[in-house]
Amino acid sequence: MSGDESERVAEFEAQHAAIIARTLAWADESAARGEYVEAVHWVETVRDMGHDLPSEYEAKRDMWLSAIESDRRSHG
């Protein structure tokens, strides 16, 4: 791999990591507004991109799913 190619790969990986971080931040922002369905959507987007969720977000996802289920039981 040439130096230019290595730089392009490193830049791509950095941009990709930033996209994942931003997507998880959107999940947190959605949850902070009480929009748990949207928060779960954002973490599922990370999974759909082929990534495992950090354990912190696995736990948050479970908590958000529980909140969604509780809301459905109380309103349904």
pLDDT at 47: 94
- The CB density around residue 35, as the number of other CB atoms within 10 Å, is 15
d(CA 73, CA 65): 12
The token pair that represents 26 in the structure block: 């959107």
pLDDT at 5: 87
Q: Where are the domains of the chain?
A: 3-75
pLDDT at 50: 92
Q: Each residue's pLDDT tens digit in the chain (76 positions)? A: 677 888 988 899 999 999 999 999 999 999 999 999 999 999 999 999 999 999 999 999 999 999 999 988 998 6
Q: Which of 68, 73, 16 lies closest to 46 in space, CA to CA? A: 16
pLDDT at 76: 64
